[in-house]
Copies of this chain bind each other. A is one copy, B any other.
């Protein structure tokens, strides 16, 4: 990504991203939080819970994907103009075999921020004790909906 692309178009980018994330009831349900936020970059963390698992007691792939795509979406949103919202157009995720984890850390980093479309790459790591291992890679397309500020934000 060129340096210019990384400059947020909205001075209020950080509050905008955090407000939007806070309105996502699904992130609250699964206990995910923004751990790191910077222009074009977002990290979402999620502690292990027994009610977030697949058939063998590991964190469900759907949970892994949800926080990876969310990190990617907010990485893209952080660079978008004030009067806009972000739409997840599509993403592809490669998952490794599930591992025991205390916590997941999903990061999204904007590769290219276009006027309309952004390309974002994502990475998910599983943390156990002091170590982390990579468990997933994401490649996503996010769209800027110009002139469509988020409803919640407009009233925020």
Chain A positions within 8 Å of B, measured between CB atoms, are 20-21, 23-30, 50-57, 60-63, 65-67, 69-70, 85, 87-97, 111-112, 114, 116-117, 119, 121, 134, 137-139, 141, 143, 150-153
Contacts and interface: CB of A to CB of B under 8 A. Distances in A.
Nearest to A139: B139
A150 to B, nearest CB: 6
Q: Which label, helix, strand, loop or mixed, suits the secondary structure of the A interface?
A: mixed
Contacts of A141: 89-90, 94, 141
B94 A24 contact: no
A50 B62 contact: no
A88 to B, nearest CB: 5
A30 B3 CA distance: 34
B29 A29 contact: yes
A117 B91 contact: no
